[in-house]
Amino acid sequence: MVEKAAKKTKTPRVAMPEQDPQIRARNFLEVPTGYTVKMAQEEASRCLQCRKPSCVAGCPVGVDIPGFIDLIAQGDMTGAIRNLWAKNALPAVCGRVCPQESQCEGLCIVGRKGEPVAVGNLERFCADYERENGTGELPPRASSTGKKVAVVGAGPSGLTVAGDLIVKGHDVTVYEAFHKPGGVLVYGIPEFRLPKAIVAQEVNFLERQGVKVECNAVVGRTVSVDELFEQGYDAVYIGVGAGLPRFMNIPGENYVGILSANEYLTRANLMKAYKYPDVDTPIPMGKNVVVLGAGNVAMDSARTAMRLGAENVKIVYRRSREEMPARNAEIHHAEEEGIELFLLTNPTKYLGNESGRLTGMVCLRMELGEPDDSGRRRPVAIEGSEFEIECDLCIVAVGSGANPLLTSETPDMELNRWGNVVTNEATGKTTKKGVWAGGDIVTGAATVILAMGAGREAADSIHDYLELGW
């Protein structure tokens, strides 16, 4: 056994084939192209099948990782996808966008001495295999309870709640403010990282199970939370996301050519503006593009700008590489595609011309000082280090706050001082009876999988409530 384990740690991880950086930097097709059955089985055979799997402990939704991987190794792809569905309503999404390196794969025993098992790639393989070759069977559903649940927001947490509660026999309707369901999966994450057809398929899978999706419904405007109860819902889950873009608050921020990442990505992804003028929504085509911020959203923005034909794209970030919040894989992909990093650089004002269009920005060079509240070393400006960067498009990706549209219309639900909904951490219960919340509206901008984890916990709690009471 020991010998076998040692051998597995030495076997290299099966790399997922990717489009060549030079080519993909100018198209919107998905970057990694997926495992073949042979690759998947080879990779699956690297799993040690630990008795106490630490990978599972690292998964916010508790996927039975060794279980589904073992089924792949045995060639039982149907069994593998069923196993995944038991814990994860959106495996095709999670296999692509979860930060596995800091979750399941980060805790993988094989990874201690070698490369961890490619859990994310295998999860993606399973979901893709089912989509392309599966029988279209649905998970078993409990008999109807007659209880009605309204889910507000068709993003990752709302869809998870819907998927969990529909199989438990409840009647579920998801309300979405946009004209398409998916939330950040459709407006935020670009096509080349998460093809929109896959999101549509995951939503369709829920609809086939009986989940109703009402688009164009802005809860807080079209209908209020209290009106949902009046309409006969027994419970409401709020998963509306962060949805309030932060700007730098420096002079010149309203010049034409400065967009929030939310706007830029929504135009590109949800509105498919990269196909303009075949579609009707335009998007600014920058030649010299600057992206402010260094999270995953910043990487997505920079890589989108490159694909839209930019001559150069710079990421401007006030801290150093070590503090960049983006996943390593995303930073690596961005750099491969020719995106430059301007680290320890902070803009102080935008420059524009007489037509109000952006022409550049003034930046200061920074150095790292003492650690700040976040535990990261505080960037301090170097006096007299001002320099100019020429740019005609700037995408501001410095985070999102809590959008007050729904919460301001729901006064009896407690918020914290940043406007996020206050919930019981274990259950997702808000201070308003019959109302749960989860995802970015509770935590502030975080990841897809954390929002899904919150959705899973809330769904369990909602189910208990519907069966047993508040």
Partner 1 sequence: MFKIVRREEMADGTVILNEIEAPLIAKKALPGQFVILKVNEDGERIPLTMAETDPEKGTVTIIYMVVGKSTALFKELQVGDGFQDVIGPLGKATHLEKVGKVICVGGGTGVAVLHPITRGLKDVGNDVTCIIGARNKDLLIIEDLMKSASHDLRVCTDDGSYGHHGFVTDVMKEVLDGGDIKLVVAIGPVPMMKAVSNITKEYNVETLVSLNPIMVDGTGMCGGCRVTVGGETKFACVDGPEFDGHKVDYDELMLRLNAYREEEQKSHDHYCNLRKAK
Q: Give whichever of 120 and 284 is closer to partner 1, judged by the CB atom.
A: 284
We find the least distance from the C-beta atom of residue 286 to partner 1, in angstroms, to be: 13
Q: Which residues pair with 244 in a beta bridge?
A: 401
Q: Give whichever of 162 and 240 is closer to partner 1, judged by the CB atom.
A: 240
Q: Phi and psi for 154 in degrees, rounded to 5?
A: -95, 40
Q: Give whichever of 91 and 245 is closer to partner 1, judged by the CB atom.
A: 245
What is the Cβ-side half-sphere exposure of residue 356, based on CA atoms within 13 angstroms? 4
We find the least distance from the C-beta atom of residue 284 to partner 1, in angstroms, to be: 7
Q: Give whichever of 285 and 380 is closer to partner 1, judged by the CB atom.
A: 285
Strands 393-396 and 377-381: unpaired
Which has the closest alpha carbon to 50: 83, 121, 1, 95?
1
We find the least distance from the C-beta atom of residue 240 to partner 1, in angstroms, to be: 9
We find the least distance from the C-beta atom of residue 196 to partner 1, in angstroms, to be: 12
Helix (H, G, I), strand (E, B) or coil at 402: strand
Which has the closest alpha carbon to 351: 359, 343, 342?
359
Q: Give whichever of 98 and 398 is closer to partner 1, judged by the CB atom.
A: 398
Q: Give whichever of 116 and 352 is closer to partner 1, judged by the CB atom.
A: 352
Q: Phi and psi for 226 in degrees, rounded to 5?
A: -65, -35
Q: Give whichever of 67 and 401 is closer to partner 1, judged by the CB atom.
A: 401
We find the least distance from the C-beta atom of residue 244 to partner 1, in angstroms, to be: 6
Structure tokens at 259: 């967009």
Rg (CA), the chain: 23
Q: Give whichever of 80 and 258 is closer to partner 1, judged by the CB atom.
A: 258
Which has the closest alpha carbon to 48: 31, 65, 63?
65
Q: Give whichever of 301 and 403 is closer to partner 1, judged by the CB atom.
A: 403
Peptide bond just before 17 cis, omega within 30 deg: no
Report which residue type is found at 189. Answer: I
Residues that bind partner 1 (CB under 8 A): 177-179, 215-218, 221-223, 243-245, 247, 253-254, 256-257, 259-260, 262-263, 266-267, 271-272, 275-282, 284, 355-357, 403-405
Integer Cα distance of 106 and 343 in angstroms: 26
We find the least distance from the C-beta atom of residue 108 to partner 1, in angstroms, to be: 37
Structure tokens at 419: 């406007």
We find the least distance from the C-beta atom of residue 149 to partner 1, in angstroms, to be: 20
Report which residue type is found at 405. Answer: L
Integer Cα distance of 35 and 43 in angstroms: 9
Distances (CA, A) of 389 to 61, 250, 357, 384: 44, 15, 15, 16
Q: Give whichever of 72 and 291 is closer to partner 1, judged by the CB atom.
A: 291
How many CB atoms are closer than 10 A to CB 168?
18
We find the least distance from the C-beta atom of residue 348 to partner 1, in angstroms, to be: 17
We find the least distance from the C-beta atom of residue 243 to partner 1, in angstroms, to be: 5
Q: Which residues pair with 352 in a beta bridge?
A: 358
Alpha helices in 337-447 (DSSP H): 404-407, 440-443
Q: Give whichever of 284 and 438 is closer to partner 1, judged by the CB atom.
A: 284
- The residue to which tokens 């700040």 are assigned: 372
Burial 310-325 (b: 16+ CB within 10 A, else e): bebbbbbbbbbeebbb
Structure tokens at 345: 């650089």
Q: Please name the helix (run of DSSP H) or strand (run of DSSP E) that holds residue 267, with its range, or none.
A: helix 261-268
DSSP for residue 31: S
Helix (H, G, I), strand (E, B) or coil at 97: helix
Q: Give whichever of 132 and 278 is closer to partner 1, judged by the CB atom.
A: 278
We find the least distance from the C-beta atom of residue 191 to partner 1, in angstroms, to be: 15
We find the least distance from the C-beta atom of residue 155 to partner 1, in angstroms, to be: 12
